[in-house]
Amino acid sequence: MNNNQRGHAMIELAACAGLMVACLAGAFQFGYTFYVYNQLVSAVGNGARYASGRTYRAASPKDVERGNEVIRNMVVYGDPHPDANSRPVVPDLKPDEIQVKWNFATTGNTSAPESVDISILHHQVNAIFGTFNFSGRPAFEFPYLGRYAPSESEK
């Protein structure tokens, strides 16, 4: 080996290691963000499925909001009535980040729910090297198949 070539291996290792670490970090960040998004899709889908079969009680606007709160809890915690120390199914997801929207079909003098839309209003995923914002996505719309009870109150 020539004296002029000594030390080239260390320089090549340093250059390649830097590139390899950057590629691995990028793959990890993409994978983690995709994993969290997949959890969001499952949580929102499960909440929408739950809402579509739930009794819609509408004796007052407060009852409707209580029902929406139960649906938000289902999305966030996987349980309509979670314990005080329950952990969200998606890291840092909060009930106020979930939008519940009822679509009504008017037939005669009554206005019954036709479908329910559940979506993420705004959620940030904090990956190692950046933050990703999900607004309006994921979202699901399910036809309403539950019982319509306009005179009942939410318990």
pLDDT band at 119 (very low <50, low <70, confident <90, very high): very high
Report in angstroms the alpha-carbon separations of 87 from 29, 45, 92, 149.
Answer: 23, 18, 9, 32
Report in angstroms the alpha-carbon separations of 5 from 11, 18, 135.
Answer: 11, 21, 55
How far, in Å, CA of 103 to CA of 147, rounded?
15
Indicate the pTM of the whole model: 0.83
Span 23-79, pLDDT tens digits: 998 898 889 999 999 999 999 999 999 999 999 998 889 999 999 999 999 999 999
